[in-house]
Amino acid sequence: MADELQPPLPTPIDRTQPFWDGLREGRVRIQYSPSSDQWVFYPRSHAPLTLADDLEWRDISGEGTIYTYTIARRPTAPDFAGQEPQIIAVVELDEGPRLTSTLVNVDEDQIAVGMRVRPVFDHLADADTTLLRYAPVD
Shared domain for 34 and 49, answered yes or no, is yes
Shared domain for 23 and 65, answered yes or no, is no
Shared domain for 44 and 104, answered yes or no, is no
Shared domain for 109 and 55, answered yes or no, is no
pLDDT value at position 7? 77
* Total number of domains in the chain: 2
Of 81 and 90, the one with more pLDDT: 90
Shared domain for 28 and 77, answered yes or no, is no
Host H or E run for residue 60: strand 56-60
Shared domain for 95 and 136, answered yes or no, is yes
Q: For all residues of the chain together, what is the average pLDDT? A: 92
Residue 133 lies in a domain: yes
Peptide bond into 8 cis (omega under 30): no
* 9-18, 77-86, 112-121: which is most confident: 112-121
Residue range 58-65: average pLDDT? 98
CATH assignment of the domain containing 106:
2.40.50.840
Whole-number Cα distances in Å, 6 to 68, 71, 134? 26, 20, 21
Shared domain for 121 and 78, answered yes or no, is yes
Q: Is the pLDDT of residue 3 over 60?
A: no
Residue 8 confidence class, pLDDT cut points 50, 70, 90: confident
Domain membership of residue 26 as a residue range: 12-60
Shared domain for 46 and 93, answered yes or no, is no
- Cβ atoms of residues 27 and 120 within 8 Å: no
Residue range 28-33: average pLDDT? 98
Residue 5 lies in a domain: no
Q: Is the pLDDT of residue 83 over 70?
A: yes
